[in-house]
Amino acid sequence: DNFMVVAAVVGALAATGHTREGRRRVVEAERLASSTFVPAFDLGVMRISLGDIDLAFDWLRQSCDTKEPQLTSIGFHRGVDPIRQDPRFPELLACVGLPGVARSRM
Protein backbone atom coordinates (compact mmCIF):
# COMPACT_ATOMS: atom_id res chain seq x y z
CA ASP A 1 0.00 0.00 0.00
CA ASN A 2 2.97 2.34 0.44
CA PHE A 3 3.93 3.23 -3.11
CA MET A 4 6.88 5.34 -1.99
CA VAL A 5 8.38 2.09 -0.68
CA VAL A 6 7.40 0.26 -3.88
CA ALA A 7 9.20 2.98 -5.86
CA ALA A 8 12.33 2.45 -3.75
CA VAL A 9 12.12 -1.31 -4.25
CA VAL A 10 11.71 -0.90 -8.02
CA GLY A 11 14.74 1.41 -8.03
CA ALA A 12 16.78 -1.15 -6.11
CA LEU A 13 15.67 -3.93 -8.44
CA ALA A 14 16.63 -1.89 -11.49
CA ALA A 15 19.99 -0.91 -9.98
CA THR A 16 20.84 -4.55 -9.29
CA GLY A 17 19.87 -5.78 -12.74
CA HIS A 18 16.51 -7.25 -11.79
CA THR A 19 14.59 -5.10 -14.25
CA ARG A 20 12.10 -7.83 -15.15
CA GLU A 21 10.87 -7.97 -11.55
CA GLY A 22 10.93 -4.18 -11.34
CA ARG A 23 8.79 -3.90 -14.46
CA ARG A 24 6.39 -6.48 -13.07
CA ARG A 25 5.91 -4.39 -9.95
CA VAL A 26 5.40 -1.18 -11.94
CA VAL A 27 2.82 -2.82 -14.18
CA GLU A 28 1.01 -4.08 -11.07
CA ALA A 29 1.05 -0.58 -9.53
CA GLU A 30 -0.22 0.94 -12.77
CA ARG A 31 -2.99 -1.67 -12.89
CA LEU A 32 -3.97 -0.73 -9.34
CA ALA A 33 -4.03 2.93 -10.36
CA SER A 34 -7.06 2.23 -12.53
CA SER A 35 -9.14 1.30 -9.47
CA THR A 36 -7.49 2.95 -6.46
CA PHE A 37 -5.30 5.92 -5.69
CA VAL A 38 -1.66 5.39 -6.59
CA PRO A 39 0.45 8.55 -6.54
CA ALA A 40 1.41 9.47 -10.09
CA PHE A 41 4.65 10.91 -8.67
CA ASP A 42 5.67 7.49 -7.34
CA LEU A 43 4.77 5.85 -10.65
CA GLY A 44 6.93 8.45 -12.40
CA VAL A 45 9.87 7.71 -10.11
CA MET A 46 9.42 3.99 -10.77
CA ARG A 47 9.48 4.59 -14.52
CA ILE A 48 12.60 6.77 -14.22
CA SER A 49 14.45 3.99 -12.40
CA LEU A 50 13.62 1.61 -15.25
CA GLY A 51 14.74 4.11 -17.89
CA ASP A 52 11.23 4.66 -19.23
CA ILE A 53 11.66 8.43 -19.40
CA ASP A 54 8.72 9.31 -21.65
CA LEU A 55 6.34 7.30 -19.45
CA ALA A 56 7.91 8.91 -16.39
CA PHE A 57 7.15 12.38 -17.72
CA ASP A 58 3.57 11.32 -18.45
CA TRP A 59 3.13 10.28 -14.82
CA LEU A 60 4.92 13.33 -13.44
CA ARG A 61 2.74 15.65 -15.55
CA GLN A 62 -0.30 13.86 -14.15
CA SER A 63 1.11 14.46 -10.67
CA CYS A 64 1.31 18.14 -11.54
CA ASP A 65 -2.21 18.21 -12.99
CA THR A 66 -3.67 16.65 -9.85
CA LYS A 67 -1.49 18.79 -7.57
CA GLU A 68 -0.01 15.88 -5.66
CA PRO A 69 1.94 17.03 -2.59
CA GLN A 70 4.83 14.63 -3.38
CA LEU A 71 5.67 16.65 -6.49
CA THR A 72 7.00 19.41 -4.24
CA SER A 73 9.98 17.13 -3.51
CA ILE A 74 11.02 17.22 -7.16
CA GLY A 75 13.70 19.81 -6.42
CA PHE A 76 15.66 17.42 -4.19
CA HIS A 77 14.29 13.88 -4.68
CA ARG A 78 17.15 11.63 -5.80
CA GLY A 79 14.78 9.47 -7.82
CA VAL A 80 14.41 12.25 -10.39
CA ASP A 81 18.15 12.92 -10.75
CA PRO A 82 18.36 11.05 -14.09
CA ILE A 83 15.89 13.48 -15.73
CA ARG A 84 17.15 16.81 -14.37
CA GLN A 85 18.93 17.66 -17.64
CA ASP A 86 15.94 16.72 -19.79
CA PRO A 87 14.45 19.80 -21.51
CA ARG A 88 11.01 18.85 -20.11
CA PHE A 89 12.18 19.04 -16.48
CA PRO A 90 11.81 22.82 -16.02
CA GLU A 91 8.10 22.45 -16.79
CA LEU A 92 7.76 20.23 -13.72
CA LEU A 93 9.75 22.66 -11.57
CA ALA A 94 7.48 25.48 -12.71
CA CYS A 95 4.44 23.42 -11.74
CA VAL A 96 5.48 23.62 -8.08
CA GLY A 97 6.83 27.15 -8.30
CA LEU A 98 10.53 26.30 -8.31
CA PRO A 99 13.06 28.14 -10.50
CA GLY A 100 13.30 26.64 -13.97
CA VAL A 101 17.00 25.86 -13.86
CA ALA A 102 17.55 22.12 -13.84
CA ARG A 103 20.91 21.38 -12.25
CA SER A 104 22.57 18.07 -11.50
CA ARG A 105 23.13 17.10 -7.90
CA MET A 106 26.71 16.74 -6.85
53-78 residue pLDDT tens: 999 999 999 999 999 999 999 999 99
| pLDDT for position 104 | 45
| pLDDT for position 102 | 43
Residue 88 burial (C-beta neighbours within 10 Å; 0-12, 13-18, 19+): middle
pTM of the model: 0.89
| pLDDT for position 106 | 38
What gap in Å lies between CA 100 and CA 84, rounded to an integer? 11
pLDDT in tens, 15-52: 999 999 999 999 999 999 999 999 999 999 999 999 99
Percent of the chain with pLDDT over 90: 88
